[in-house]
Structure 1
Amino acid sequence: MIFRLTFLLFFLYASPVVAGTQEPRVLVIDGIQMEYIDIGAGSKTLVIESGIGMGLAYWQPLLADLSKLNIRTVIYSRAGNGKSQAAKDVSLATSNQRLEKLLSTIHAKENLILIGHSFGGLHVRAFAAAYPERVKGLLLLDPSHELFDSELNKYDATWAKRDTTKLNGMMNNQPEWDLLQGIYHQKMIADGDIANKIPVVIVTSSKLNESDWWIGHSVQGKKIWRDLHQSLIINNANSIHMVTNQTGHNVPHDNKLLFLSSISALLGLVDGV
Structure 2
Amino acid sequence: MAQPAKVLVNGLEMEYEDSGGEGITLLLEAGGSAGMDDWQSIYPALAKQYRVIRYSRLGNGRSAPIEKNYSSEEYADEAKALLQALKVDTPVVYIAHSYGAYIARVFAARYPQDVVALMLVEPASEHDVDIMRAIDLVQAEKEIAQVKLDDMRGGMSNQYLDFWAKRPLPDYPAIPDIPVTVIASVKKYDDPPLLFFTDEARKMWGELHSHWAKTFPQGRAVLTDQSYHYPQKDEPDMVIKEIVRLVQQVITAKSHK
Normalised by the size of structure 2, how large is the TM-score?
0.90
Report whether the alignment pairs 1:81 with 2:60: yes
Which residue of the partner structure matches residue 17 of structure 1?
A: none
Report whether the alignment pairs 1:72 with 2:51: yes
- Per mean C-alpha deviation after superposition, the further-off stretch among 160-169 and 36-45 is 160-169
Once superposed, which parts of structure 1, at least 4 consecutive aligned residues long, lie more than 4 Å away?
A: none
Q: Is the 8 A contact 2:172 2:216 kept in 1?
A: no
Which residue of the partner structure matches residue 101 of structure 2?
A: 121
Which residue of the partner structure matches residue 6 of structure 2?
A: 26
Q: Secondary structure at the match of 1:242?
A: strand
Which residue of the partner structure matches residue 178 of structure 1?
A: 161
CA distance in 1: counterparts of 2:36 and 2:51, whole angstroms: 15
Gap change, CA 1:122 and 1:211, over 3 Å in 2: farther
Which residue of the partner structure matches residue 250 of structure 1?
A: 230
CA distance in 2: counterparts of 1:123 and 1:50, whole angstroms: 10
Which residue of the partner structure matches residue 24 of structure 2?
A: 44
Deviation string for 1:27-53 (max 9, x for gaps)? 111122110010141222100111100
**RMSD (Å), alpha carbons:** 1.9
CA distance in 2: counterparts of 1:210 and 1:31, whole angstroms: 47
CA distance in 1: counterparts of 2:176 and 2:190, whole angstroms: 30
Gap change, CA 1:230 and 1:214, over 3 Å in 2: same
- Per mean C-alpha deviation after superposition, the further-off stretch among 237-246 and 114-123 is 237-246
- Per mean C-alpha deviation after superposition, the further-off stretch among 228-237 and 115-124 is 228-237
Deviation string for 1:239-264 (max 9, x for gaps)? 22111111211111000111101101
Amino acid at match of 2:142: R
CA distance in 1: counterparts of 2:45 and 2:218, whole angstroms: 26
Q: Is the 8 A contact 2:69 2:159 kept in 1?
A: no
Q: Which runs of 5+ in 2 are unaligned?
A: none
Q: Is the 8 A contact 1:205 1:244 kept in 2?
A: yes
CA distance in 2: counterparts of 1:211 and 1:78, whole angstroms: 33
Amino acid at match of 1:122: Y
CA distance in 2: counterparts of 1:44 and 1:149, whole angstroms: 36
Amino acid at match of 1:226: G
Which residue of the partner structure matches residue 96 of structure 1?
A: 76
- Per mean C-alpha deviation after superposition, the further-off stretch among 156-165 and 36-45 is 156-165
Which residue of the partner structure matches residue 111 of structure 2?
A: 131
| 1:237 CA drift (Å) | 2.9
CA distance in 2: counterparts of 1:76 and 1:211, whole angstroms: 34
Amino acid at match of 2:64: Q
| % identical aligned pairs | 25
Q: Which runs of 5+ in 1 are unaligned?
A: 1-20
Q: Is the 8 A contact 1:201 1:240 kept in 2?
A: yes
Gap change, CA 1:270 and 1:210, over 3 Å in 2: farther
Q: Is the 8 A contact 1:114 1:139 kept in 2?
A: yes
Which residue of the partner structure matches residue 38 of structure 2?
A: 58
Amino acid at match of 1:230: S
Amino acid at match of 2:160: W
Q: Is the 8 A contact 1:56 1:75 kept in 2?
A: yes
Which residue of the partner structure matches residue 128 of structure 2?
A: 148
Deviation string for 1:143-196 (max 9, x for gaps)? 1111111232132112222222332233225212221001x2x3x124564556
Q: Secondary structure at the match of 2:112?
A: coil
> After the TM superposition, which residues 9-24 of structure 1 pair with which residues of structure 2 at under 5 Å, given as runs?
22-24=2-4
Q: Is the 8 A contact 1:125 1:194 kept in 2?
A: no
Q: Is the 8 A contact 1:55 1:82 kept in 2?
A: yes
Normalised by the size of structure 1, how large is the TM-score?
0.85
